[in-house]
Amino acid sequence: MAETKNIKTLAQKAQKASRQLALLTTAQKNSALKKMAAALRKSKGYLVEENRKDLKAGKAAGLSSALMDRLLLNDKRIKGMIDCLLDTAKLKDPCGEILETFKRPNGLVIKKVRTPIGVVGIIYESRPNVTSDCIGLCLKSGNSVILKGGKEAFYSNRAIYKVLKETLKDASVPTEAIQLIPSTDRKAVTELLKLDEYVDLIVPRGGEGLIRFVAENSRIPVVKHYKGVCHTYVDKDADLKMACTVCVNAKTQRPGVCNAMETMLVHKDVAKAFLPDVIADLRDRGVEVRGCSKTRQIVKGLKAATEKDWSEEYLDLILSVKVVDSLEEAADHINTYGSRHSDAIVTKNKSVAQKFLDSVDAACLYVNASTRFTDGYEFGFGAEVGVSTDKIHVRGPMGLEGLTTYKYAVHGTGQIK
């Protein structure tokens, strides 16, 4: 009960601060970001010390080595956090941009102006750098931020937050604009997700379990992606050498990320010419290939792909392969089993490429390129808050603009209706 009230109070403070944030100049925001970067640099010793408490608890709790690695703060990672704040200071301020201007017959001039959203809640798991990255991105876009990190990183997150919040006292930014929910309890998340009167957007970052929990319990709009089941369709008019390079890259360059390819679809007319070489190449790189029956007729010794494979996000050196009769079948397959994240076609035929772009329902569609480019940095956004597979508000890589909305400013000379 006390906790519930605390979280509400904290959200109210964040909302109040957001009104002041909206009035800051770009120079004031950038100056605060640079001060924050300097403060992190000065506090390295303290951050590493607090991080050690998390590492110790993590070891005692038997966290996997992958999780322990994510948790670790060292000189290099603190430098990464500092660089992110400095890079954010260099980004164009999205707020105040005039998106459209239209004059009405009655003389009213209507301007659609980009503005901060207000209060953004970030719910995340182990990596402590998310704390400072998101504080920086929200500040630059003029939003108050409420952070709720995972319990494994409790001490690290709190230390980063304390250092950055302390810095705001000497800046023109209201200190209440950044808030950290100190609880390690998921109940605190449930409470936060009810506060639609004070919080305008929730961005969950973490595993599918966390994201589903947030999506199912939130009254506040959520921008999210559950997973990335990405496809590459090799058309009958593909440059097969290019197709091989693109597919091998999409699968193997970094298999553990959401924009890596999980299923390869191949047109039946080129299956015999294409599959033996590409599968040999993939196997050389340690990929386990699981094929449909037609694939397995062409390349012997493959494991069979089951129905379950088509919707699996392996995040590993595993690939399912299916031979399809047509572009339509490929698009149907992707629309049925895909995750609306990133899908590619390799073809020299422009009208086939266009049909693919129109038929497949996904955030990012590639013609003759690897799906691995779905990323805020690769898109030139200079930052990435996350990737959205939703269709509302923001789709695909979410940069600073994803943390903004707009308002209409209507200028008149006494018009009445």
Which residue number, 48 or 244, has a Cβ lying nearer to a copy of itself?
Answer: 244
d(CA 85, CA 56): 28
Structure tokens at 346: 């390799």
- Alpha carbons within 13 angstroms on the beta-carbon side of residue 410 total 9
Is the Cβ of residue 276 or residue 412 nearer to a copy of itself in the bound state? Answer: 412
Q: How far is the CB of 349 from a copy of itself (least distance, A)?
A: 13
What are the angstrom distances between the C-alpha of 217 and each of 12, 202, 209, 221, 388? Answer: 20, 11, 12, 11, 18
Q: Count of alpha carbons within 13 Å of 261, Cβ hemisphere only? A: 32
CB of 355 to a copy of itself, least distance (A): 8
Q: Whole-number minimum distance, CB 398 to a copy of itself, in Å?
A: 12
Question: Using CB under 8 A as the criterion, which residues of the chain lie in contact with a copy of itself when the complex forms?
Answer: 19, 22-23, 102, 104, 108, 110, 113, 117-118, 196, 200-201, 215-216, 219, 221, 239, 242, 245-246, 249-250, 253-254, 331, 335, 355, 357-359, 361-370, 372-373, 378-380, 390-393, 395-396, 405-417
**Residue with Cβ nearer a copy of itself (169 or 417):** 417
* Cβ 334 vs Cβ 314: under 8 Å: no
Burial class (CB in 10 A: 0-12, 13-18, 19+), 26: middle
Q: Are 319 and 262 in contact (CB under 8 A)?
A: yes
Which parts of 216-277 are beta strand (E)?
Answer: 230-234, 261-267
**Three-class DSSP category at 232:** strand
CB of 359 to a copy of itself, least distance (A): 7
Tokens 């890259």 belong to residue: 249
Please say whether the beta carbons of 45 and 159 come within 8 A: no
User: What is the nearest approach in angstroms of a copy of itself to the Cβ of residue 386?
Assistant: 15
Q: Whose Cβ is closer to a copy of itself: residue 151's or residue 355's?
A: 355
Nearer to a copy of itself, 23 or 60 (CB): 23
Closer to a copy of itself by Cβ: residue 182 or 221 = 221
- Nearer to a copy of itself among residue 132 and residue 218 (C-beta): 218
Q: How far is the CB of 15 from a copy of itself (least distance, A)?
A: 9
Nearest approach in angstroms of CB 51 to a copy of itself is 31
CB of 69 to a copy of itself, least distance (A): 22
Q: Calculate the alpha carbon distances from 247 to 235, 331, 333, 341, 369 in Å.
A: 12, 17, 18, 16, 9
Which one, 85 or 238, has the nearer CB to a copy of itself?
Answer: 238
Q: DSSP of 294-335, one letter per residue?
A: HHHHHSTTPEEPPGGGGG----SSEEEEEEESSHHHHHHHHH
